[in-house]
Copies of this chain bind each other. A is one copy, B any other.
Amino acid sequence: MSETLLSSRNLAFELYEVLDAEGLTQRERFAEHNRETFDAAISTARSIAEKYFAPHNRKNDENEPRYEDGKAILIPEVKPAVDAFLEAGFLNAARSFEAGGMQLPTLLSQACFAHFQAANAASTSYPFLTMGAANLIESFGTEEQKQRFLQPMIEGRFFGTMALTEPHAGSSLSDIRTRAEPAADGSYRLKGNKIFISGGDHPLSENIVHMVLAKLPDAPAGVKGISLFIVPKFLVNDDGSLGARNDVLLAGLFHKMGWRGTTSTALNFGDNGHCVGYLVGKPHQGLSCMFQMMNEARIGVGMGAVMLGYAGYLYSLEYARERPQGRLPDSKDPTTAPVSIIQHADIKRMLLTQKAYVEGAFDLGLYAARLFDDTTTLATDIERRQAHELLDLLTPIVKSWPSEFCLKANELAIQILGGHGYTREYPVEQYYRDNRLNPIHEGTHGIQSLDLLGRKLAQNGGAGLKQLIRLIAETGARAQKYPSLTALREPLEHLVARLQSVTIGLLTDLAQGKVNSSLANSALYLKVFGHTVIGWRWLEQAIRAEEGLAKGNAADVDFYKGKLQAARYFLTWEVPGCHHELRLLENRDDTCLNMQDKWY
């Protein structure tokens, strides 16, 4: 049977040829692991994803959660799937042995998780959010909070959410109105409304732990007055048993275009005046705590976008191989047999584009996961800090690039299937609908572009950016060993050189206070920066492919040639096109900025 979630050969390439997963086993934290334990975890993930998650992906879509008597009702297939995920230990794949985890590198836990994201984005959201909420409590919670809330989450009995967005404020967190009043017992009473809370209600766990942003009575205005609270659906007694229902009301469900199996909820906190919450971390510093979860979520969203793209790519590839239709332009004789559509040039283009987008973004997502490992397990403070700086810089790209281009991949997958692709009898239209969420949640595309240009670039004196430029140059230097890669390397080098100069210009403008004009075209900057990063990763993959070819394993030749062709596509069809956007950025083009409301 052909693979439907991801190519295991490509995953092995990433782990063992590009990202040196085995090198991680030299580090103390991962010393108990080896390639066999890694592969075993991946194999388990694949089989559970195929057995429990993939089969109800369409049913999830066709039978979205229903609101009944204040509760969200899901189809019955979700719980056994999530339970299988929990039982196999994937919720704690990266957590330490002592804490009940597998102590896998994040690189590996992300590789495992990718299978679930490809199989069923909606059902996978519930454990995904729980992992993020658990990590947040682990980082910032008190010992008592960990005992009461984190431990049951690790055990898979409590699930989690992140509750940020409010109806009137949207992305503008500085304007949230949810209030938290201190109570006599040291806890707080919350009052406010949140919307678009994924997993805000469901019957999958004993309890749901909401991580809620709210403001204390003495809070300063804006983001510096936001605090973070644990607000459980059910209170938890000192002995760990469930207490009374907390005053968190499921006000309703949103009905989405796709990703329908995940409840998107409106939650009312404190309608009856007794919504109990517990402060996490220090007062007014909730947003910086929450950024840990948001950053995890952003990388997760990016990988989710990749995997929807990947599933669509594999499906359309298989379809193109099996579907006979038409003849090549130079052999129109209608008495000859039709060819498989994979032989048509434009189908090749649409498949190669998908491959370049999907495998490029897959590489970046796993690279980011490995960087996360570096932030915790590299030997020295300096090395760990450097990894952190680079990961911080790349996060908006890891989130936004796949959300845009793997959605585009899904659009192409539909196109390859033609009329069939547009029907719900085939899976690709659902991937497209599901993926359309990704440029919106966890910070819209616009927010990511401002985060990159207005914040991340200049952070720590531009340390992350300098590191990235150095890494790209190193890859370029290694590529010089292969004359065949010259045509791939040079477009990247030209782009990087010009991007650097544009960046310096924009940062100078920003430093001089020209904020509106320098941020106006941040979307263009995000695109070019993303293409630069993905172009770099493709050049890296191309080097590894050349290295692989040099080893002379006949069984691998086609795989490596495909890698080289996809790298060629990206670096010669996509990367050079970015000079147009760079020119607009260089000129500080104000066409959009100057547009007036009354002119539309």
**Residues of A near any B CB (own CB < 8 A):** 165, 168-172, 174-175, 195-196, 221-223, 254-258, 264, 317, 321, 323-330, 332-335, 338, 340, 342-349, 351-352, 355, 411, 414-415, 418-419, 421-425, 429, 432-433, 436-437, 439-441, 444-446, 449-450, 454, 513, 515-516, 519-523, 558-559, 561-562, 565, 568-569, 572-573, 576-577, 579-581, 583-584, 589, 591-600
Contacts and interface: CB of A to CB of B under 8 A. Distances in A.
Contacts of A338: 172, 175
Contacts of A324: 168
Contacts of A441: 419
Nearest to A522: B346
Nearest to A196: B419
Contacts of A165: 419
B449 A436 contact: no
Contacts of A513: 330
Given A174-B334, A345-B516, 14 more contacts: A169-B325, A170-B323, A170-B419, A172-B326, A221-B335, A254-B423, A255-B423, A255-B425, A317-B600, A329-B450, A342-B597, A415-B440, A429-B436, A569-B591
A563 to B, nearest CB: 8
A334 B436 contact: no
Nearest to A520: B345
B425 A558 contact: no
Contact of A446 (B169, B317, B328, B344): B344
A83 to B, nearest CB: 29
A257 B328 contact: no
Contacts of A411: 436
Contacts of A562: 595-596, 598-600
Contacts of A175: 325-326, 334, 338
B345 A592 contact: yes
A348 B572 contact: no
Contact of A348 (B326, B335, B592): B592
27 contacts: A168-B324, A169-B325, A171-B418, A175-B326, A221-B334, A221-B335, A222-B333, A254-B425, A255-B423, A257-B422, A257-B429, A257-B433, A329-B454, A329-B515, A340-B597, A345-B516, A345-B522, A345-B592, A346-B449, A352-B592, A419-B440, A432-B436, A568-B591, A569-B591, A572-B589, A577-B581, A580-B580
Contacts of A418: 170-171, 440, 444
A508 to B, nearest CB: 16
A440 B421 contact: yes
B423 A330 contact: no
Contacts of A222: 332-335
Contacts of A348: 592-593, 595
Contact of A572 (B172, B565, B591, B599): B591
Contacts of A423: 254-257, 264
A330 B515 contact: yes
Q: How many copies does the complex hold?
A: 2
B591 A334 contact: no
Contacts of A169: 325
Contacts of A444: 415, 418
Nearest to A563: B599
Given A346-B523, A523-B346, A594 B565 contact: yes
A325 B569 contact: no
A577 B579 CA distance: 8
Contact of A325 (B172, B516, B577, B596): B172
Contacts of A345: 516, 519-522, 592-593
Given A170-B419, A436-B414, A516 B328 contact: yes
Nearest to A170: B325
Given A170-B418, A334-B222, A516-B330, A565 B595 contact: yes
A429 to B, nearest CB: 4
Contacts of A264: 423
A7 to B, nearest CB: 9
A475 B121 CA distance: 51
Given A257-B423, A334-B221, A351-B600, A519 B329 contact: yes
A455 to B, nearest CB: 11
Q: Which 6 A-B pairs have the closest CB atoms?
A: A222-B334, A562-B599, A349-B592, A345-B520, A577-B580, A257-B429
**Residue among A171, A559, A591 with max Cβ neighbours from chain B (10 Å):** A591
A89 to B, nearest CB: 33
A136 B345 CA distance: 34
A561 B596 contact: yes
A136 to B, nearest CB: 22
A351 B522 contact: no
A169 B174 CA distance: 57
Contacts of A589: 572-573
